[in-house]
Structure 1
Amino acid sequence: MALRVGDHLAASLPALRHEPIARRVRAWSGGTLLLDSSRAALVWEPGRVVPQYAVPVDDVVATLTPDPGYAGRRDGPGAVPVGPAGAQVLTPETGFGVHSTPGAVLTMSTGAAPLRGAAFRPEDPDLAGHVVVDFAGPDTWWEEDEPVVGHPRDPYHRVDARRSSRHVRISADGVLLAESRTPTAVFETNLPVRHYLPRADLVADLAPSDTVTTCAYKGVASYLSAGGLPDVAWTYPQPLPDATPLAGLVAFFDERVDVEIDGVALARPRTPWS
């Protein structure tokens, strides 16, 4: 019987996962180098949907000291249900201090203010001698000579933008918000298809908000409110190089509006943004 790849990947979610990467990884805090490694790996703790960098202890320039009394950064939600089966996942918003595998909490110090709980040594033989580092601890990360934003990129995560001629209608409580026959469909791993629309196809007045978020694959998003729904849409004014087709287009949360594609109403997906 054929194995569905998505089901195979979902089945691995409760496991501690890792993948070596052939990239030089560096991190700084306040202009001080914390680590420099060409032997890094990506590590997903059980339940995590995005990875963190792990590097050999020998590649850490900062001083690492045990900090067992510190719980670490625990902001954001705990496990949330995602998908039709309601699988429990830890989203990127869940703080680094929420560890789901045994290990030791470490503080990184450089002589300046210590980064408490910013490192974690898993108790796993395949990761022996490595420490996982909180992406939000250092203020600057590079892969080779290019900056990384949001979180480390998953090599098995894709974001594909495709021009389309499908008829997209978006409404809320019966009020039309947008209608387009020239959307750009974005197919992103483990996420609903998003339809990015030209601003000329917006019917409702969209008001900019102060909310911004960062996507490791697409860049910094600015948010828009419409129809009494705060932050119901977003746009990438200056997307990252891999997402340039999305520049200036507007997408809506299908979780919060009613979407029709070629006259067929879509069910609202169940995601962390529902």
Structure 2
Amino acid sequence: MGLSWQQGPLAPGAVGQFLVPGTLHERLLYAEPLRRRMRVRFAGEWIADSEDVILLFEPGKYPVAYFRESDIASHVLKRSEHKTRHGDLGPTEWFSVQSSETEVARAAWRHVELPSYAEVLKGRVAFAWRAMDGFYEEDERILGHAADPYHRIDIRETSREIVVRYEGGVIAESSRPLVLYESGFAPRWYIARADVNESAITAVTHQTFCPYKGICSYFDIGAAKLAAWSYPEAYSEVARISGMLSFEPDRVEVMLDGKRLHAEPGQNVVAHGPDRGLTTDEVKPVRK
């Protein structure tokens, strides 16, 4: 998922490789300026507002935003006795985050004895994503985690033939699917509902959330649980797949131009951690 998550180049399960002589350090951390205005809301108040945010990428983790203390409201950080040690960045002190009526323990942190190579984080504070009301770029809330600038989605039309079968029966057949290419994932093939045998799929209550596509709904096919999924109201950036179905090739038979697809590296999705108190209503597209 982007640079350091899922199978990105800095992730533990990277699908590619660095073409360099010798062996790279086992853990590569990467920091860069966000170059976007980011704000943080807590207990109904804006507590941080900055155009000088640093994103830290750690292997296997979502990117984390670090703010200059001068861009944080003076009353919100309360130093605690809790201290930890980061394996790469050294001792870490923790803060409670407080407002006039609310206080949340261990909701922010700062690395206090950084090695020389990590000086870019000196004096900067990060907030626990779930402990805040929300993080914003300008006036738009960013859901799930800080936006990864290395995460990309491309959707392409294709005339390739795709057939989905389960126990010998045809579930879907199309020569007009869309293929979705997403950073860190193998291609996903989406089929229009008109090309799906609706009587063969059963909607279930299970839902997941993708910060880049929205709320995902699932379907069982016979005994094959969660074998298909759909984004009923995909975010505007990927609206072309709204309402279309995609199928798990390790749960049903998916044939593309006569060749059976199989689960491959990047095909198994690792669920995103939710925001604090996040509900499906909060992440639905806003109608203006």
- TM-score of the two chains, using structure 2 as the length reference: 0.73
Alpha-carbon separation, structure 1, partners of 2:81 and 2:257: 56
Quote the residue 2:220 is aligned against: 225
Equivalent of 1:56, from 68, 83, 99?
A: 68
The CA deviation at 1:69 is 4.1
Kept in 2, the 8 Å contact 1:13–1:47? The answer is no
SS of the aligned residue for 1:251 comes to strand
My pick for the range that moved more, 163-172 or 17-26, is 163-172
Q: Deviations over 1:125-170 (max 9, x none)?
A: 2211112222222122210122212222211111001111111123
Query: CA RMSD for the aligned pairs?
Result: 3.0
Kept in 2, the 8 Å contact 1:258–1:268? The answer is no
SS of the aligned residue for 1:157 comes to coil
How many matched pairs? 243
Q: Does 1:214 align with 2:209?
A: yes
Quote the residue 1:19 is aligned against: 32
Alpha-carbon separation, structure 1, partners of 2:256 and 2:26: 32
Alpha-carbon separation, structure 1, partners of 2:120 and 2:261: 44
The CA deviation at 1:108 is 1.7
Q: How does 1:107-118 map to 2 (within 5 A)?
A: 107-118=96-107
Quote the residue 2:231 is aligned against: 236
Alpha-carbon separation, structure 1, partners of 2:168 and 2:26: 38
Kept in 2, the 8 Å contact 1:255–1:270? The answer is no
Larger Rg: 2
Q: Deviations over 1:76-104 (max 9, x none)?
A: xxxxxxxxxxxxxxxxxxxxxx9664433
Quote the residue 1:179 is aligned against: 173
Quote the residue 1:85 is aligned against: none
- TM-score of the two chains, using structure 1 as the length reference: 0.77
Equivalent of 1:170, from 154, 161, 164?
A: 164
SS of the aligned residue for 1:136 comes to helix
The CA deviation at 1:177 is 3.0
Alpha-carbon separation, structure 2, partners of 1:21 and 1:130: 14
Q: How does 1:1-274 map to 2 (within 5 A)?
A: 6-8=16-18, 14-48=27-61, 50-61=62-73, 63-67=76-80, 69=82, 101=88, 102=90, 103-122=92-111, 123=114, 124-172=118-166, 174-203=168-197, 205-271=200-266, 272-273=268-269
Quote the residue 2:4 is aligned against: none
My pick for the range that moved more, 173-182 or 232-241, is 173-182
Alpha-carbon separation, structure 2, partners of 1:256 and 1:99: 40
Q: Call closer, same or farther: CA 1:119–1:46 in 2, change over 3 Å.
A: farther
